[in-house]
Amino acid sequence: MRKTPKQERSRQMIDTLIDATARCIIEKGLDFTTTSRIAELANVSVGSLYQYFSSKEALIEALMNNMASDIGKGLQRLPISETSTLRDLVTGAIHYGFTMLNSRNGLYLELARNWHRLPTDKVANALQQHFLELSRIYFLKYYREYPIENLEVRIFIIVNSTIFTMVRLISQENSMWREEDVENGLIEMILAYLQTKTTAA
Amino acid sequence: MRKTPKQERSRQMIDTLIDATARCIIEKGLDFTTTSRIAELANVSVGSLYQYFSSKEALIEALMNNMASDIGKGLQRLPISETSTLRDLVTGAIHYGFTMLNSRNGLYLELARNWHRLPTDKVANALQQHFLELSRIYFLKYYREYPIENLEVRIFIIVNSTIFTMVRLISQENSMWREEDVENGLIEMILAYLQTKTTAA
Amino acid sequence: MRKTPKQERSRQMIDTLIDATARCIIEKGLDFTTTSRIAELANVSVGSLYQYFSSKEALIEALMNNMASDIGKGLQRLPISETSTLRDLVTGAIHYGFTMLNSRNGLYLELARNWHRLPTDKVANALQQHFLELSRIYFLKYYREYPIENLEVRIFIIVNSTIFTMVRLISQENSMWREEDVENGLIEMILAYLQTKTTAA
Amino acid sequence: MRKTPKQERSRQMIDTLIDATARCIIEKGLDFTTTSRIAELANVSVGSLYQYFSSKEALIEALMNNMASDIGKGLQRLPISETSTLRDLVTGAIHYGFTMLNSRNGLYLELARNWHRLPTDKVANALQQHFLELSRIYFLKYYREYPIENLEVRIFIIVNSTIFTMVRLISQENSMWREEDVENGLIEMILAYLQTKTTAA
DNA sequence: AATGAATGAGACTTCATTCAT
DNA sequence: AATGAATGAAGTCTCATTCAT
pLDDT at residue C114 greater than cutoff 60: yes
What does the pLDDT average to over A6-32? Answer: 90
D55 contact to strand F (CB, 7 A limit): no
Reduce the secondary structure of C173-188 to three states and give it as a string: CCCCCCHHHHHHHHHH
Average pLDDT, chain B: 87
User: What does the domain layout of chain C look like in residue ranges?
Assistant: 1-53, 62-194
The DSSP 8-state label assigned to residue D177 in this structure reads S
* CATH code for the domain defined by D61-194: 1.10.357
Which positions 1-40 on chain D have a beta carbon less than 7 angstroms from any atom of strand F?
6, 9-10, 13
Report long-range pairs for A63-67 (Cβ below 8 Å, ≥24 apart): A63/A18, A63/A21, A63/A22, A63/A25, A63/A111, A64/A111, A64/A118, A64/A119, A64/A120, A64/A122, A64/A123, A65/A122, A66/A18, A67/A107, A67/A108, A67/A111, A67/A123
Option in C115, C189, C201 nearest D157 (CB): C189
**Backbone torsion region of residue B104, taken as left when φ is above 0, otherwise alpha when ψ lies between -120 and 50, otherwise beta:** left
More confident residue, B168 or B200: B168
Inter-chain contact D165–C171, Cβ cutoff 8 Å? no
Task: Please report, rounded to whole angstroms, the spatial distance between the CA atom of protein residue D37 and the C1' atom of nucleotide E6.
Answer: 29
- Name the nearest CA neighbour of B130 among B103, B152, B162, B161: B152
Chains adjacent to A (≥3 CB pairs closer than 8 angstroms)? B
Is residue C118 classed as helix, strand or coil in its secondary structure? coil
Q: Which residues of B touch A116 (CB under 8 A)?
A: 113-114, 171
C36 contact to strand F (CB, 7 A limit): yes
Option in A160, A195, A196 nearest B165 (CB): A160
- Cβ pair D120, D64 in contact under 8 A: yes
Which class does domain C1-53 fall in? mainly alpha
CA B9 to each of CA B6, B16, B58: distance values in angstroms, whole numbers, following the listed order: 5, 10, 19
Q: Please report the pLDDT score of residue D200 as a whole number.
A: 42
Residue of D nearest to C172 (CA): D121
More confident residue, A132 or D141: A132
> For a pLDDT cut of 70, what percent of chain C falls above it?
91
Of all nucleotides, the one whose C1′ comes closest to residue A49's CA is E6
The confidence band for A114, taking pLDDT boundaries of 50, 70 and 90, is: very high
Task: Please report, rounded to whole angstroms, the spatial distance between the CA atom of protein residue D47 and the C1' atom of nucleotide E18.
Answer: 14
HSE-up of residue A95 (Cα within 13 Å, Cβ side)? 9
Q: Please report the pLDDT score of residue D108 as a whole number.
A: 93
Task: Please report, rounded to whole angstroms, the spatial distance between the CA atom of protein residue D36 and the C1' atom of nucleotide E11.
Answer: 9
> For a pLDDT cut of 90, what percent of chain D falls above it?
59
Q: Please report the pLDDT score of residue D107 as a whole number.
A: 95
More confident residue, A108 or A173: A108
Q: Does A199 touch chain B (CB under 8 A)?
A: yes
* CATH code for the domain defined by A63-194: 1.10.357
What does the pLDDT average to over C121-143? Answer: 80
Q: Does B142 touch chain A (CB under 8 A)?
A: no
Q: Does B153 touch chain A (CB under 8 A)?
A: yes
Question: For the ranges C125-129, C139-143, C151-155, D35-39, which has the lowest average pLDDT?
Answer: C139-143
Q: How many Å is the maximal CA-CA distance in chain C?
A: 64
- Cα D172 to Cα D170: distance, rounded to the nearest angstrom: 5
User: Residue closest to F12, CA→C1'?
Assistant: A35
pLDDT per position as a tens digit, C141-150: 766 655 677 8
Q: Please report the pLDDT score of residue A76 as a whole number.
A: 80
Q: Which residues of C touch D180 (CB under 8 A)?
A: 201
What does the pLDDT average to over B89-103? Answer: 91
D87 contact to strand F (CB, 7 A limit): no
More confident residue, C82 or A200: C82
Which bases of strand E have any atom within 7 Å of the beta carbon of a protein residue? 1-21
Option in B113, B185, B195 nearest A157 (CB): B185
Question: For the ranges A103-117, B90-104, D74-88, D166-180, which has the lowest average pLDDT?
Answer: D74-88
HSE-up of residue B79 (Cα within 13 Å, Cβ side)? 5
* CATH code for the domain defined by C62-194: 1.10.357
- Name the nearest CA neighbour of C172 among A181, D156, B8: D156
pLDDT at residue D9 greater than cutoff 80: no
What does the pLDDT average to over D128-152? Answer: 76
What does the pLDDT average to over D91-105? Answer: 92
What does the pLDDT average to over D139-144? Answer: 70
HSE-up of residue D19 (Cα within 13 Å, Cβ side)? 10
Architecture in CATH for domain B64-194: Orthogonal Bundle (1.10)
Question: For the ranges A88-97, A124-133, B8-17, C64-73, which has the lowest average pLDDT?
Answer: A124-133
Question: For the ranges A52-66, A147-161, A173-187, C119-133, which has the lowest average pLDDT?
Answer: C119-133
Same fold, C1-53 and C62-194: no
Q: Please report the pLDDT score of residue C2 as a whole number.
A: 47
Interface residue of C94, C184, C189 to substitute, partner D, most D CBs within 10 Å: C189
Task: Please report, rounded to whole angstroms, the spatial distance between the CA atom of protein residue D154 and the C1' atom of nucleotide E13.
Answer: 44
Tell me which range, A185-194, B143-152, C117-126, C134-143, is most confidently predicted by mean pLDDT.
A185-194
Tell me which range, A132-136, C16-20, D70-74, D87-91, is most confidently predicted by mean pLDDT.
C16-20
